[in-house]
Amino acid sequence: MILLLITILLFTVYAILILYYYFCWKKIPVYSPGIRQPTTKISVIIAARNEEKNIGHLLQSLQQQSYPASLFEVIVVDDHSSDNTVSIVQQFQHVRLLQLKEDGLHAYKKKAIETGIRNATGELIVTTDADCFAPSQWLSQLAAFKEATGAVFIAAPVAMEYNHSLLQRFQSIDFLTLQGITGVAVHRHLYPMCNGANLAYERTVFFEVDGFAGIDDIASGDDMLLLQKIWRKYPDRIHYLKSPGAVISTQPATTVQLFFQQRIRWASKATRYKNNLIFLVLLLVYLFNCCFPVLLVAGFFDPFYWIVFLGGWVAKTIIELPFVYSVSVFFKKTSLLKKFFLLQPLHFFYTVVAGLLGQTASYEWKGRLTK
Q: Are 75 and 62 in contact (CB under 8 A)?
A: no
Residue 371 confidence (pLDDT)? 61
So what's the pLDDT on residue 315?
96
- What pLDDT was estimated at residue 206? 97
* Cα angle value 231/237/241 (rounded, 5°): 100
154, 159, 139, 168: which is closest to 66 by C-alpha? 139
d(CA 170, CA 252): 10
The Cβ-side half-sphere exposure at 249, using a 13 Å CA radius, reads 15
State residue 219's pLDDT score.
82
Distinct helix (H) and strand (E) counts, the chain: 12, 12
Q: What is the pLDDT of residue 264?
A: 84
Residue 150: what pLDDT? Answer: 95
What is the phi-psi region of residue 332: left when phi exceeds 0, alpha when psi lies from -120 to 50, beta otherwise? left
Q: What is the DSSP letter of 66?
A: S
Torsion of CA 165, 166, 172, 175, to 10 degrees: -150
Mean pLDDT by 10 residues, the chain (371 residues): 91 97 97 85 97 96 96 96 95 94 84 96 97 96 95 97 90 95 96 95 97 88 93 96 96 89 82 86 93 94 94 96 97 92 90 82 72 61
